[in-house]
Amino acid sequence: MTCNIPLPEKDTKFNEFYTEVKEIEKRDSVLTPKQQIERLLRPGSTYRNLNPFDVLQVEPDTSIEEIKKKYRRLSILVHPDKNQDDPDRAQQAFEAVNKAWKTLENEETRKKCMDIIEEAVGRTDIMVCVFEYFYQIYGNFVDMERKRRELADRDQEERKRKREAEIEDEENAKAQKEWQKNFEESRQNRVNSWQTFTSKSKDKKTSKKIKVFKPPKNKPESRS
């Protein structure tokens, strides 16, 4: 989208909008725990909270020490233990704050965030519409989150495939072991059965060969 607003008017609109944003941030910086939870879970928070600077209410050039202090204050404000009247929403807000801090705490992911901000600012150069400016920022954050999720999904799928292969190998090994055990047990039974069979066969043959001797009957003598 190309902005057709004349340059002087464009500069004025950007400055007015930027001033309004700063006023909102200043106002939000003193929000109560309940208000901070509402801010972090407001409509569109799924995308807004992809910007860790917005979640923690800090400028991109804020030092990591100051960001850490802000993170600690916010995490205490929205902690579920401190908001027992609304623990579920407090937990969601607490997780958003934690995720933002982990993103900025890590040097590599913080640099990616800074690159996104600098690229968006560079593209605007006060020559692009305000909506284009913020669309670029949040669009890039969405893209970064999408790539992160894709990597996480691929990693999870790979771990799942490996685990399924391990389970299959374990089941095959177990089945092989069980088969071997049954074979050994049945082999001994077969040996015993064969020995019993051959023993009976020999007894039958022996009994057939033995003949009982019967003496001849005495015949009465005949006298002529």
- Which distant-in-sequence residues (6+ apart) come within 8 Å of 132 by Cβ? 1, 3, 124
Q: Which token pair is 220?
A: 């009465």
CB 59 within 8 A of CB 53: yes
Task: Write down all domains in the chain, each with its CATH number in brackets.
Answer: 7-138 (1.10.287.110)
- State how far Cα 131 lies from the chain centre: 35
d(CA 152, CA 145): 10
pLDDT tens per residue, the chain (224 residues)? 444 444 445 456 556 655 665 665 555 556 788 999 999 998 888 888 888 998 999 988 889 999 999 999 999 999 999 999 999 999 999 999 999 999 999 999 999 888 888 776 666 554 445 555 566 666 677 777 888 888 888 888 888 888 988 898 888 888 888 888 777 777 767 677 777 767 766 665 555 555 555 666 666 655 55
Give the DSSP letter of residue 215.
Answer: P
Alpha carbon distance 160, 221 (integer Å): 107
- DSSP-derived secondary structure letter, 6: -
**Sequence-separated (6 or more) residues with CB below 8 Å from residue 3:** 10, 128, 129, 132
Give me the residue label for tokens 């020995």.
195
Look at the chain and count its residues.
224
pTM tops 0.75: no
**How many Å apart are CA 167 and CA 145, to the nearest integer?**
32
* The pair of three-digit structure tokens given for residue 166, joined into one six-digit string: 């391990």
Q: Contact 93/40 with Cβ under 8 angstroms?
A: yes
